[in-house]
Every structure is written in structure tokens, then in C-alpha cells.
Amino acid sequence: MACRICSGRLHRFADFGRQPVSDAFVLPGDTGEEFFFDLAVGVCESCAMVQLLQEVPRERMFHEGYPYLSSGSAVMREHFRSLAGRLLATELAGPDPFVVELGCNDGTMLATIAAAGVRHLGVEPSGGVADLAAARGVRVRKDFFEAATAASILAFDGPADVVYAANTLCHIPYLDSIMKGVATLLRPGGVFVFEDPYLGDILDRASFDQIYDEHFYLFSATSVRELARRHGFDLVDVERLPVHGGEVRYTLARRGARTPSPAVAELLAAEEAGALTGPQTLRDFAGRVAGIRDSLVDLLTGLRARGATVYGYGATAKSATVLNYCGIGPGLVSHICDTTPAKQGRLTPGSHIPVRGPEAFAAPYPDYALLFAWNHAEEIMAKETAFRDAGGTWILYVPDVHLV
């Protein structure tokens, strides 16, 4: 198995077994039709990029029925509004600026750019969510971004001042084509800004559910700097973000075009000092993950034996890894409540737990709620105070199994 970035040797360090497509919520009659793959993760011994060992064909994940909505969290709506405001005030403050967003989803970020009257384009292959973006006035192209797409955007719209991607770049195995596309599309002084879950946070918190089909790469400053270098870019800024359980926003510029901020050297030094992808760090991670699985299954089995009721909260893509790796089905978690219309009335992939709307999370409350959307814990607990007031208890499994 060779590294998708540099062809170096991959060292496998965690294995989650047979897994379904994480966002493929199934209709009750269609459970015989599911696609499975082997979910295992390795690190490149040359460039330190952490990556999946098997790729799921992109059309199986990103299509007309892709259910995930960026607008599903108030915290994320504010996060993208604030980022758009910052881009408008800085990189997009010149004459007739142009910004391209890869994976714009339902247009949550670009809606602010569109409202400011700034030239923009969202590139979004998932037709259903792209239609939602278009309906709110965002200019969107239904396509996978890659080298050829970039050339045709350049021919029609001219060069971009900013290419931006949130929770999208790490979803794309074919980064060589993406980086070539960005190099084609970006103005000489432009920036490529992307934010994704940070390997350092995932290892620290043992948040193994960040590993699933769509999260093909787990980036670090070290691996992103090498990726950038191979394509004629410098890593010129990094910013730690609290969202989605800990992310980093990376800024790339053409080689020599900008002076890197001190934060870049600081994060690189911290990764080296902490032996981020060292064998001991990765062994510790794998050990903690197995421990979480055993404690969670013990807890849920004990609760069932006592006759306690347990609902899930948030039918996240992340939950696919937890449910299928731990072997948790409707016998242990009766159903999962989630606000996403395209998930409701369906079953979770592989584990077949029914998904219901948020109205199902109401009195009489269950005794316990397993919080799969733990990255939105603050937002969710703030609006669900009645659950604890009624005597309910939250179950969290990151960074360890604990009750709140």
C-alpha cells in the first residue's frame, strides 16, 4: 500500500473492520443493498500524511441524495458567517474580487459573500445540497472539483483571489489533481484556505469516530506543509479552530509570495516535539480506542439489562464508525434523533438504528442519551436542558466514556 501523496510506505496503525458508507442512511426495505469497505488507517513513513488504506468511489458518497447540511448547527452558521466577513475585509477587499469554494454544500458560507455582491462560485457535486445553495442566491456549479474543473472555471471567470474549502479537502483522495487545479485557478498573489479536523486533536482526544469513509486524510501541519511543497506552495498560516472537535485552518500561498506567520513554525515544532506520528503515539491511540469500545459496549449492555431506555442524539457520519466498530444496533440504542430531513425515516448505515426527527426527543425522555454529535455538545446541551431537568443523563465516549 503506497501513500496517495508521495508513494511512500504506509504503516497501518488502526483498524475498524467492515464499514458502510457513513452517510448512506437506508430505507427500511433496502438493507440488503448496502456497500461495505474495510476501514483502516495508516501513516506515511516519508511525508507523515495519515490516510485511509481503502478508498470508497466518490459517486457512492457524494450524489443527489447526500444528506449532510452545513446549516444544521447554529455554531457552524456563525463560524462561516464570521469567516466570510473576514475574507471580505481582507483577501477580497481589492477591485472585483473572486472567491471559489470547494464543497459549498447548502451555501452557508457563500450566502454571506453573495449578499455582499462579491463574485463567487461554489463547486458542489452533491445535487440536492447544491440546489439548496442555488435557492439562496449562491452561484453554484454541480461538479467535483479537480484539475479539469479548475481549467474551465479559469476560462470562464478568470483567476480566483481565494480558493476556500471547509471539511472538504480531507474528503478527497485525489489531492494531486486538486492541488494542480488550485495552482491553475489561483491568482499569483492569491491564497488557498482550507480547514479540516486536526490530527493532533484526534489523537489527543482519541476521537476515533473522525475516521470514516469521507475523512480520507487526517491532516497535520507537517503533512500539509509537505503536500504544499510538492505543488509549489508554502504553508503560510495555521489557525487552531474549536469547531468539529478541533480543526486547523491552513493557508497556502505560492512559493515565496508571502512570509509565513510565526504560528506555522510553532505548530510544526509542537508536532515534532510531541512525536505526533511516532510509533508510541499511534500505539497509545489504538489502545485507547479499543478501551473506549469495550467500556461503551459494557455500559450499554448493563443499561439494557437494567431496563433503562437509551436514545442516540445526532445521526452523524461519525456515528457509523462507532456503531459498526462496537457492534451497537437497535437492541442497545432504540433510535437516534436528528434534525436532518434526509436522514429521518431511514436507518443508520450498517447498524440499522431508526432515525427520527428532533420532536422524538421530548417528554417522556429516555433515561440516557448517547451524544454522537459530541462536537456540538455545548449547542445541543444548551437547547436540551429539559432532558437533564427530567432526570436524563448524557453519555459521551470522547475522550473516554463518561456520563454528564
Interacting residues with ligand SAM (CB under 6 A): 62, 66, 68, 70, 102-103, 105, 123-126, 129, 144-145, 166-168, 171-172
Task: List the single partner that 19 binds among ligand TMP, Zn ion, ligand SAM, none, CB under 5 to 8 Å by kind.
Answer: none
How many Cβ atoms from other residues are within 10 Å of residue 188's Cβ? 8
The region of 19-27, 154-162, 186-194, 372-380 touching ligand TMP under the rule CB under 6 A is 372-380
Task: List the single partner that 6 binds among Zn ion, ligand SAM, ligand TMP, none, CB under 5 to 8 Å by kind.
Answer: Zn ion
Q: How far is the CB of 376 from ligand TMP (least distance, A)?
A: 4
Task: List the single partner that 379 binds among ligand TMP, Zn ion, ligand SAM, none, CB under 5 to 8 Å by kind.
Answer: ligand TMP
Regarding 168 and contact with ligand TMP (CB under 6 A), the answer is no
How far apart CA 371 and CA 398 sit, in angstroms, is: 10
Q: How far is the CB of 57 from Zn ion (least distance, A)?
A: 22
Among 380, 395, 398, 401, binds ligand TMP (CB under 6 A): 380
Among 8, 159, 330, 358, binds Zn ion (CB under 5 A): 8
The region of 38-46, 274-282, 376-384, 389-397 touching ligand TMP under the rule CB under 6 A is 376-384
- Cα distance between the two ends of the chain: 42
3-state secondary structure of 341: helix
In the chain, the amino acid numbered 261 is S
Regarding 310 and contact with Zn ion (CB under 5 A), the answer is no
Q: What residues contact 393, with CB distance under 8 A and at least 6 apart?
A: 367, 368, 369, 403, 404
Residue with smaller CB distance to ligand TMP, 122 or 312:
312
Regarding 338 and contact with ligand TMP (CB under 6 A), the answer is yes
Contact 50, 211 (CB under 8 A): no
Q: How far is the CB of 76 from ligand TMP (least distance, A)?
A: 7
Do the bridges between strand 310-313 and strand 336-337 make them parallel or antiparallel, or are there none, so unpaired?
parallel
Residue with smaller CB distance to ligand TMP, 82 or 301:
82
175-185 vs 147-157: helix axis angle to the nearest 10? 20
3-state secondary structure of 154: helix
Regarding 348 and contact with ligand TMP (CB under 6 A), the answer is no
Q: How far is the CB of 330 from ligand SAM (least distance, A)?
A: 26
Contact 183, 153 (CB under 8 A): no
Task: List the single partner that 41 binds among Zn ion, ligand TMP, ligand SAM, none, CB under 5 to 8 Å by kind.
Answer: none
Rg (CA), the chain: 21
Q: How far is the CB of 215 from ligand TMP (least distance, A)?
A: 10
Q: Write the interaction track for ligand TMP spanning residues 289-328; mark x where CB under 6 A is met and - where it is not.
A: -------------------------xxxx-----------
Output the DSSP codes for 276-311. Answer: TT-HHHHHHHHHHHHHHHHHHHHHHHHHHHHT--EE
Among 22, 149, 222, 375, binds ligand TMP (CB under 6 A): 375
Regarding 46 and contact with Zn ion (CB under 5 A), the answer is yes
Task: List the single partner that 320 binds among ligand SAM, Zn ion, ligand TMP, none, CB under 5 to 8 Å by kind.
Answer: none
Residue with smaller CB distance to ligand TMP, 180 or 244:
244
What residue number has its CB nearest to ligand SAM? 103
Q: Phi/psi of residue 157, each to 5°?
A: -110, -15
Regarding 351 and contact with ligand TMP (CB under 6 A), the answer is no
Residue with smaller CB distance to ligand TMP, 203 or 337:
337
Q: Helix H segments across 90-146?
A: 110-115, 127-135
Regarding 176 and contact with ligand TMP (CB under 6 A), the answer is no
**Contact positions vs Zn ion (CB under 5 A):** 3, 5-6, 8, 44, 46-47, 49
